[in-house]
Structure 1
Amino acid sequence: MQQHRSSAPAHALTVLTLAVALTSGAAQAQQATPLEDNRRITDGYIAIAYELGAILDPALVPGGTSAVRPTWFTFAPHASRTGGEGMYGAAIARRLINTARGFPSWSVTHALARVGIDAQLHATTRQIALELVVRGLPVDAAASLAALITSLNGEALLDVRTLTITVARAVQLYLSAPGFWPLDKVESVVVTLERTLHEGNVAIYTDIGGSGQLYLEWRQGAGGAVTAERVLEEFTLVDAISAEAVGAYDFALAHAFDTPRPQSFDLLFPGIHYKSLLVAAFALYEKARVAPTPEERDALIAMGNNYIAWREQHDMAQPVFTPAVPRPDEVSRAALLQILTPLLRTHFGTVVWNYADYANSQPDRDGNPLTSPPTEYNWAVFPDRWSGILFAFDQAYLQPTGLWQMPAPLPDPGGSTNGS
C-alpha cells in the first residue's frame, strides 16, 4: 500500500512548469535519468490533481482527501508511479549487468546478493531466474531478466500457468535480442523497457499535463464565473477544433448515463482530432462542478475521464508501444509488453488494480484451461489496454477517497534495492 503524502504544492503551475522542462534542451543537458524524470512527472500530476480537484470540491486541500469522483489527473500520479516501478526494476537489472561485466556470478543467489537483493525476501525473482537458467540462460543474464520481470508484481506468477508462459516468452525474447554476448542481449531487453516507459511517461505528461496546466492558467485569468459554455467558447488548445469539442461535449451530456458508458470514440467521432476531447473534458468538469445531484456530477466526470484517457492511450501511448520504425538495439516492444501484461498492477492509493483481475473477469479467449487468461492479453494492443483501463476506473470509482493517498517517491536505485 502506498504511503499517504501529507502535503503537496499549493499551486500546480510552478511544479508543472518545471516538469514540462523535461523535454527542453536544458533538461537534456542535465542528463536526468528516466527515474528522476518520473519523480518530477509524478509530483507534477499530484499538484495539478489537487488544484483541479479543489475546483470540483472546494473543501479539498493539498494532502487532503475528497469523496467527489476523481478526475483523470487524480489517477495519473499513481499510473506514473507504476511506470516508475518498472524503471526502477530496469535500474536494478542494469546494476546486475554492470556488476557481472566485472566478474561473473557463480549462482543466481550470488548474482542477486551482489546488488543487495535478498533471495529469501525476493523468492519469486530467484525462482524465475532459476527457471531461465534451466532453459539455457547464463546465470547473470537470467538474474537480470528475472529482476526486470518481477519488478512490477511477482505475485501474479504464483499461478503456475502464468509463470510457465512468462518464462517461455522471456526466453524467446532473449534469444531474439540483438547482440552476441549474453549480457549484451539481456541489456537490450532492459533498455527497451526503460525507454518504452520513459518515452510514454514524458509524452503523456507533456500532452495531457501540459493541457491541464494551460487550462488552469486560462481559468485563473478568465475573470468572472467560469462555465462549461465559456470553456468551449474561449479555451483553446493547439490542434483542438472548437466545433468538435462542442459536439463531443453535447454527446457526453446526452449519454452520460448510458450503460455501459460510451467508449468506442473512434466509431462515435469519426475523423475527430482527439485533442478536441481534452477541451470537451474540461468543459464537462465545469458542468459537473455545478451539477444538481452527485449522480449527475459523477457521470459527467466519468465521461470527461474517458475522453482524456482515450487521447492519452490512443494518441500518446500507442505510438510508443508499437513504434512505426523499431530501433535496431531493442527487442520488440510489443513482445516485451505481452510478457509483462499479466504482472501489471497499480496502487491507486488504497485501491489496488491488477490486470489479472480484469482478464480473469472476461470470457476465456482460447478456452484452454492450461493457459491463464492474463497471458492471453497484450498491453501493447490498444483494445486490451483500453478495456483494462476502463475496468480500473470503475473499480476505483467505488472508493474515491482512496485515490487521494498519493504515492511516495521511489527510493534511489543507487542506494537500497529493497522493493526490487
Structure 2
Amino acid sequence: MRPSFHSLATSVLMLAALSWAPPARADESPTPLEDNRRITLGYIEIAYELGSLLDPSLQPGGSSNVRPNWFVFAPHASRTGGQGMLGAALARRMIDAARGQPSLSLVHALDRLGLSGEARLGVERLSLELMVYGVPLDAAASIASLTRAMNGRALVDPRTFGTTASRFASLYWSAPAVHPLDKAEAMVLTLEHTLHEGNLAIFTDIGGSARLYLDWRRGVVGEVTSERVLSEFSLQDAVPEESRRAYEYGLAHVNDTPRPHEMANLFPGMHWKSLLVAAFALYEEARRAPTPAERDAFIALGNNYVAWREQHDMAQPVFTPAVPHLDEVSRSAFLEALTPMLKTDFGTLEWTYTDYAYSQPDRDGSLLTSPPTEYSWAVFWDRWTGILYAFDQAYGAPSALWTMPEPLVDPTAEPANGT
C-alpha cells in the first residue's frame, strides 16, 4: 500500500527537523530561534497538507500554480521573523564580547559581528551615523547590525537614512539603562521579544487551529463540504452562527472589488475563531469550485479572513502592549524605525515595504520626507494594507511561494567567536 500524503510529508519534515536540531538542553527552555525553526517547519507541513486539498497534483516538496492559501505565506513570514531574531542573537553575542573587551575600532566591531559584503557596508554606514548622534562605538554597531538581513536599499534615499538614524538614536537615548551597552541591549531585546512573542502567538492559535481542522478532516467519513465544516467542525470560542454569517457574506461578496478586508466593520464583535472556521469553509468551497477563477477568488477571501485575525488579534497586542515592558524601549517606536527596511522573501518573490509605500499617494506631500518613513508597522492599518499589497503581488506568481525557506540555526548553541 502506498504511504499517505500526510505520512510522507510528516516524515520529510521530521527528518528536516532532526537534521537542524541543536544539542538537547534538558534544563533549558527553547530559545527564540529554536521555537522559530519548529514554527517554520510546522507551517510548511500545514501548507503542503492544505495545499494538496486545493491542488491534488501537489506533492511533498513540490510546487503549485494554484493561488496560495495563507499557510503558504506563513513559513516565509516566520523565517523573516527568525532572521530578525538571528540578528538579535548575534548582536547580544557581540555586546557580551564588548563587555569583556571593547572593540578597538569599528572594523573590529564589524568583524565580531561576522559581517561581510553589502550587509557590512550598510551596517557600517548606519553605525557611523549613530556615532554622530553620540552613540558609543560598540553600542552603535550592535544596534545597526539589527538591520543586517533587512532591505538596505531603502537607506539609499538620504531622507530615509537620516530619519532612520535619528529614530534609532532617539530610541537608544530613551532606553531604560545607564551604561551604553545596557542601552543597546535593551533595543536588541525589544526586537527579539517582539518577534518571538508574535511568532509564538500566531502559530499557537492560527497554526494550532489549522492542525485541529486538518486532523478533524482526516477523520470525516464521506465527502467534506463547506456545509459540513460549518455544522460539524468547531474551535474553542468559535460561535457557529458567526461562522455561518461570515461564510455566507463571503459567498455573496467573493468577487467584490476591492476584496472584503475591513472585517471589524463587516462583522462587529465577531470572535476571531469564528472567522477562522469560515475561512476553512471558504477553502473547501474553493476546492469544489467549477473554474480556476472562482477557486482563486475563494482562496483569496479565505486568506483575508485568516490574515485579519492574525494581525488584528494576535500581532497587534504584541506590537503595542497595554503595559510597557520595563527592560525594553517602545515597541511601537522601534517598529516605526524599522518599517522602511522591512522585506520578506516569499520564495523567489521579494516583497518590500518601500515598494508598497512608493505605490501609494504621498501622505504629507512634502519632498523633505520619504514615503516609507510616513508609515509604521506598529499601526494596524499601515501593516494591513501593506500585507494586502503583498498578497496581490504573490497572486501574480503563485509558484514562487513553494520555494520553501530553510529553517534557521541558533548560533548561541555554537562556540562564540570572542575576538
Task: Measure the CA separation in 1 of the matches of 2:33 and 2:7.
Answer: 21
Indicate the residue corresponding to 1:407 in structure 2.
Answer: 405
Distance 1:138 1:362, change over 3 A: same
Deviation per CA, 1:60-91: give whole Å up to 9, x if none.
Answer: 01110011111000000000000001001101
Shift of 1:416: 10
Aligned to 2:385: 387
Name which of 351, 354, 370 aligns with 2:349: 351
Per-residue deviation, residues 391-417 of structure 1 (Å, max 9, x unmatched): 000000000001000001224434699
How does 1:291-306 map onto structure 2 within 5 Å? 291-306=289-304
Letter matched to residue 108 of structure 1: L
Partner of 2:208: 210
Partner deviation per Cα, 1:316-347 (whole Å, 9 max, x = no partner): 00000000011111100000000111111000
Give the conservation status (yes or no) of the 8 Å contact 1:41–1:80: yes
Q: Which amino acid aligns with 1:391?
A: Y
Distance in 1 (alpha carbons) for counterparts of 2:25 and 2:44 = 21
1:360 matches 2:358: yes
Shift, 1:12, TM fit: 5.2
Secondary structure in structure 2 of the residue aligned to 1:358: helix
Q: Aligned partners of 2:133 and 2:104: how far apart in 1? A: 17
1: CA distance between counterparts of 2:6 and 2:141?
Answer: 38
1:95 aligned onto 2:98:
no
| The 10-residue stretch of structure 1 (140-149 or 402-411) with the greater mean CA deviation from structure 2 | 402-411
Q: Is the 8 A contact 1:291 1:297 kept in 2?
A: yes
- After TM superposition, list the pairs within 5 Å mapping 1:12-411 onto structure 2: 30-118=28-116, 122-411=120-409
- Give the CA deviation at 1:310: 0.6
2:209·2:235 contact (CA, 8 Å) conserved in 1?
A: yes
The Cα shift of 1:236 comes to: 0.1
Offset from partner CA, 1:289-316 (integer Å, 9 cap, x none):
0101111000000000000001100110
Asked if the contact 1:349/1:405 (under 8 Å) is kept, the reply is yes
* Number of residue pairs aligned between Structure 1 and Structure 2: 403
Contact 1:9 1:62 in 2 (8 A): no
| Letter aligned with residue 259 of structure 1 | T
Deviations 1:189-234 (A, max 9, x none): 0001000000000000000100000001100001110000000000
Give TM-score scaled by structure 2 length: 0.92
Work out whether 1:10 is the aligned partner of 2:8.
yes
Q: What secondary structure does 2:411 align onto?
A: coil
CA distance, structure 2, for counterparts of residue 12 and residue 283 of structure 1: 24
What RMSD, in angstroms, separates the aligned Cα atoms of the two structures? 2.2
**1:13-50 deviations in Å (ceiling 9; x for gaps):** 9979xx9xxxxxx9995421101110110000001100
Structure 2 counterpart of 1:215, one-letter code: Y
Identity of aligned residues (%): 63
Higher mean C-alpha deviation, range 118-127 or range 58-67: 118-127
C-alpha contact (below 8 Å) 2:91/2:113 kept by paired residues = no
Contact 2:34-2:409 within 8 A present in 1 as well: no
Contact conserved, 1:10 with 1:47, CA < 8 A, in 2? Answer: no
**Cα distance in 2, alignment partners of residues 366 and 291 from structure 1:** 44
Distance 1:245-1:179 versus aligned 2 partners, 3 A rule: same
Q: CA separation in 2, counterparts of 1:106 and 1:385?
A: 40
Mapped contact 1:156–1:342 kept (Cα < 8 A): yes
Look up the equivalent residue of 1:200 and give its one-letter code: G
Greater mean deviation of Cα atoms: 268-277 or 203-212: 268-277
How far apart, CA to CA, are the structure 1 residues paired with 2:6 and 2:287?
22
Equivalent position amino acid for 1:44 in 2: G
Distance across 1 between alignment mates of 2:150 and 2:98: 23
Distance 1:279 1:175 in 2: 46
Unpaired stretches in structure 1, ≥5 consecutive residues: 1-6, 20-25
Residue of structure 2 equivalent to 1:23 = none
Residue type of the partner of 2:275? L
Q: Distance in 2 between matches of 1:299 and 1:146?
A: 42
Farther off after superposition, 127-136 or 27-36 = 27-36
Aligned to 1:10, the other structure's residue is in SS state: helix
Contact 2:33/2:409, CA 8 A, preserved across alignment: no
Q: Distance in 1 between matches of 2:248 and 2:290?
A: 18
Q: Is the 8 A contact 1:112 1:119 kept in 2?
A: no
2-side partners of 1:214 and 1:109: how far apart? 51
Query: Could you tell me the TM-score, scaled by structure 1's length?
Result: 0.92
Provide the C-alpha distance between the structure 1 equivalents of 2:244 and 2:119, rounded to a whole number of angstroms. 54
Residues in 2 aligned to 1:310 and 1:89: alpha-carbon distance in whole angstroms? 28
Q: 1:302 to 1:35 in 2, by over 3 A?
A: same
Residues 352-411 of structure 1: CA deviation (Å, up to 9, x unaligned): 100111111111111111211011100011000000000000000000001000001224
Residue identity in the other structure for 1:69: R
CA drift of 1:262 comes to 0.8
